[in-house]
Amino acid sequence: MASVTLSSTPQADGFSMPAEWQPHKQTWMIWPERTDNWRLGAKLAQNAFCNVAKAIAEFEPVTIGVSARQYENAAAHLAEYPAIRIVEISNNDAWMRDTGPTFVRNAAGKVRGIDWVFNAWGGLQGGLYFPWDQDDLVARKVLQIEGIDRYRADIILEGGAIHVDGEGTLLTTEYCLLNSNRNPELTKEQIEERMREYLGIEKVLWLPRGIVDDETDEHIDNVACFIAPGEVLLAWTDDSSDPQYAHSVAALEYLSQQTDAQGRPIKVHKLPVPGPLYMTAEEAAGVDPIDATQPRREGNRLAGSYINFLFCNGGIVMPAFDDPMDSVAKEIIQSLCPDHRVIQVPGREILLGGGNIHCITQQQPIDNWLSKTA
Ligand code: KQY
């Protein structure tokens, strides 16, 4: 089945983005390899990504896009996991949340994909690498592989910059979406309008800031997410001397005064942050200091957060950091989502590259779901 490029918008066609906890057909990932982001030839990151893929595969199929150069290596790592498929996709790095499509669905359960313009988190004004031309083709290739029709959006956006509740509300951060290195020609109102047109939402909730030193310009998917309609999980610290405190307090104060698209007051659940966590000298020395514009140095604060997890079919895959807060965060999420089995996977190697489990994954909703379950 071919993938057609559409000239309309999802909203005009009756499509909207489902909540992440709605049923998935599969989850997509990209195999990590660039040695100026992933230390020691990306070997440790490859193991970490494999562990994430295996954890997700306990709940649903996984497809991993791999460059031609790494195809055999990835296939050998994952040969014994029939729920994990390897396909060849060229890329500039391994952040499927941001380079993959955002899927939308209509009332009949038909699925389409949005292919956002990607500029490596800021282009030549603070972006994280150049070029990013292969990353900008990833969403299109995923949709072609699946035979899913595509909307090419006229806006620069990464999937990690948005969360939705599936009932009309979108959550984002001003620091990222209003940053002059993304869409400087658009006003806040025009960006909201684009979100309505592409994601079929009705209301945008704007947190001012995200996680301190998050090199994505503070994506929402590292600081807060919907855990249910009307309920937001927020990264939190009680340490008022930590710069994260002001970010989290501002988010809490804002959300406490907001209602969602259905008119419900937002209920906020606090989720402790780990650490603070910092890059060690050994970790920094393992990264090749070549192309990436973000140098890795001993003492860099890492943007660690347990918010950066993925809902799967019946499960949640979340990071652990060998930190006292690991078990606390897991218990909070498990108690809020009793119908999901929460699995923790080591997240530090992924964090060293600048993100975590949500950033390296993209869920594809099941198609014709309503007719199949009717
Ligand atoms: O967290 C993400 N969504 C992407 C992080 C990119 C980091 C590149 N070094």
| pLDDT of the residue at 126 | 86
pLDDT single digits (tens) 80-100:
999 999 999 999 999 999 999
Tell whether ligand 1 has an atom less than 6 A from the beta carbon of residue 37: yes
Residue 118: the pLDDT is 98
User: Which pTM value belongs to this model?
Assistant: 0.97
CA gap 204, 170 in Å, rounded: 5
Predicted confidence at residue 290, as pLDDT, reads: 80
Q: Which of 91, 101, 179, 87 is nearest to 131 (CA)?
A: 91
Distance 2 CA to ligand 1 centre (A): 31
Answer yes or no: is the C-beta of 355 below 6 A from any ligand 1 atom: yes
Report whether residue 128 contacts ligand 1, using a CB cutoff of 6 Å.
yes
Give the number of the atom of ligand 1 that is nearest the alpha carbon of residue 355.
1
pLDDT of residue 369: 57
How many Cα atoms sit within 13 Å of 307 on the Cβ side?
A: 29
- Measured from the Cα of 93, ligand 1's closest atom is 8
Residue nearest to atom 3 of ligand 1 (CA): 359
Phi and psi at residue 346, to the nearest 5°: -55, 125
**How far is it, in rounded angstroms, from Cα 238 to Cα 245?**
7
pLDDT < 70 stretches in the chain: 291-293, 369-374
Residue positions annotated with a catalytic role: 359
The per-residue pLDDT for 292 is 63
